[in-house]
């Protein structure tokens, strides 16, 4: 058998011949998308302008709805082409690749017609929107022609939506993108809803919808005048925003609700959100405190908007935890800077809640005007405790006199009283099989919460002093 070994020199020459032959055949057959674009525009589009923009993955439904709105204008028609390419995903498709037809001979560079790729995006409730993930729109309007590429880039981190516009004149491409941005604002899926921001494992911003429980005014039990002051700065202000703005009053405002744990600060904030249904509400808690810049950017687009920052003292404590002494935490400075960066006529309300106003006061005092109203949400006085017992007794038969327990829960929070009624109902159910709450059931509940639960239980339920149960076991 002869020696079939080929020398490196001969292999190189053969491979060069092979590539030249492939290039000649490739040139003879015009790439699919280059041909379709040439036919669409009636000329070679390789010298046309391409203008693009990138949007966060959270804006994918807004991009899709904006495209629908743009394409539905009278006199406008389009054809949507699917793209099959190994570039899709991590590397991403570029409109320039489709125009030039380049990359077909490079690893992973070939593109061809394929099915239009869609991805389902969850909206509020059970609604799902099928959004174009990868597609090329060939658009006609009279004699005018445009091409728009919509492509979702999936790197595994910071995924984004890319929109690129090809047009004979740069001005036409710019005008198209401007129209899309305007439609995104107008048809934004988050407008008027309650949403929260978070970052997933891919370091990609996620926006989640929330449905707040319906909270009536009578459920907000505060001393006389407190709720009225809170409503004046929020609900009434929003109602008269146009008149106030016309008179030159600034619309951007901040309100701080402070007080002991369990007094109802969060409940009050949720009540305010329900009283202003025309406003978009952004909830910022815990780890999402690092997304203040994103939240404020969304609020600018979605105004009138309310940003609720719960337990804002946690970001003020960050410096202490990191050993920074008495300085103010970077996140707190970021919050103040974001508030500074908003125009006075931006109709954005900040509602901050805190158990530790002392941690915030130095920074707020150094930047006056960021908080327009600070309202203490105090521990309930005897009248408020009586009303709380009445509120949380609904649905129960209470045969015990309430007044002694109103006195014994002095210093207890609203959360403590709510839990007391729940435990008393549970003791009643165990005792008699029905929800008739007697004095002994209140006593047993108090004993379990105050004595057996100890200081930790009282702390968790926001009881600043010991509620004393008149119980022989104590």
Return the pLDDT at 338. Answer: 81
Architecture of domain 382-460: Orthogonal Bundle (1.10)
Return the pLDDT at 468. Answer: 54
Return the pLDDT at 323. Answer: 45
Judge whether 406 and 389 are in contact, CB under 8 Å: yes
Return the pLDDT at 320. Answer: 45
Mean pLDDT by 10 residues, the chain (474 residues): 65 70 61 94 93 93 97 93 75 84 53 90 92 96 95 76 96 96 96 89 83 92 94 89 82 89 92 93 81 89 92 67 49 77 83 88 75 91 96 92 93 92 94 86 91 68 55 43
- The Cα–Cα gap between 191 and 281 comes to 9
- The Cα–Cα gap between 146 and 163 comes to 13
3-state secondary structure of 40: helix
Domain boundaries, the chain: 30-186, 209-376, 382-460
Return the pLDDT at 157. Answer: 60
Rounded (10°) CA dihedral 316, 320, 323, 329: 10
- The Cα–Cα gap between 335 and 341 comes to 10
Task: Spell out where 176-325 has E strands.
Answer: 194-199, 205-210, 253-258, 280-284, 305-309
| CATH superfamily of the 209-376 domain | P-loop containing nucleotide triphosphate hydrolases (3.40.50.300)
């Amino acid at each position: 058998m002869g020696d079939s070994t080929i020398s490196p020199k001969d292999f190189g020459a053969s491979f060069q011949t092979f590539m030249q032959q492939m290039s000649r055949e490739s040139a003879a057959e015009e790439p699919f998308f280059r041909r379709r674009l040439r036919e669409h525009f009636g000329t070679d589009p390789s010298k046309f302008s391409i203008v693009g923009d990138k949007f966060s993955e959270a804006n994918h439904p807004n991009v899709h709805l904006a495209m629908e709105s743009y394409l539905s204008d009278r006199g406008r028609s389009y054809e949507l082409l699917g793209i099959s390419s190994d570039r899709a995903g991590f590397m991403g498709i570029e409109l320039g690749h489709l125009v030039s037809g380049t990359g077909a001979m490079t690893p992973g560079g070939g593109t061809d017609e394929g099915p239009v790729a869609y991805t389902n995006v969850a909206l509020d409730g059970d609604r799902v929107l099928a959004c174009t993930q990868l597609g090329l729109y060939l658009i006609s309007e009279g004699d005018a022609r445009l091409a728009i590429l919509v492509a979702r880039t999936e790197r595994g981190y910071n995924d984004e939506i890319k929109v690129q516009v090809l047009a004979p004149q740069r001005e036409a491409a710019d005008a198209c993108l401007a129209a899309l941005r305007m439609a995104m604002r107008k048809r934004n899926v988050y407008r008027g809803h309650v949403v929260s921001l978070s970052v997933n494992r891919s370091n990609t911003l996620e926006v989640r919808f929330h449905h707040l429980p319906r909270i009536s005014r009578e459920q907000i039990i505060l001393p006389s005048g407190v709720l009225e002051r809170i409503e004046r700065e929020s609900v009434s202000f929003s109602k008269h925003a146009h008149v106030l703005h016309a008179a030159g009053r600034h619309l951007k405002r901040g309100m701080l609700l402070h007080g002991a744990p369990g007094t109802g600060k969060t409940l009050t904030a949720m009540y305010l959100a329900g009283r202003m249904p025309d406003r978009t509400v952004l909830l910022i808690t815990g780890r999402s405190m690092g997304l203040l810049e994103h939240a404020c950017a969304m609020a600018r687009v979605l105004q009138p908007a309310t940003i609720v920052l719960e337990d804002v003292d946690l970001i003020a404590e960050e410096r202490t935890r990191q050993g920074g002494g008495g300085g103010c935490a970077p996140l707190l400075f970021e919050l103040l800077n974001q508030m500074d960066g908003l125009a006075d006529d931006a109709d954005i309300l900040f509602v901050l809640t805190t158990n530790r106003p002392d941690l915030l006061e130095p920074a707020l005092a150094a930047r006056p005007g960021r908080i327009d109203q600070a309202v203490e949400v105090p521990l309930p006085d005897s009248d408020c405790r009586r009303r709380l017992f009445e509120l949380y007794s609904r649905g129960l038969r209470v045969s015990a006199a309430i007044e002694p327990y109103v006195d014994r829960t002095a210093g207890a929070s609203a959360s403590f009283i709510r839990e007391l009624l729940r435990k008393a109902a549970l003791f009643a159910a165990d005792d008699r099989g029905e929800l008739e709450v007697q004095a002994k059931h209140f006593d047993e509940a108090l004993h379990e919460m105050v004595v057996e639960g100890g200081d930790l239980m009282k702390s968790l339920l926001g009881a600043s002093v010991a509620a004393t149960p008149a119980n022989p076991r104590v």
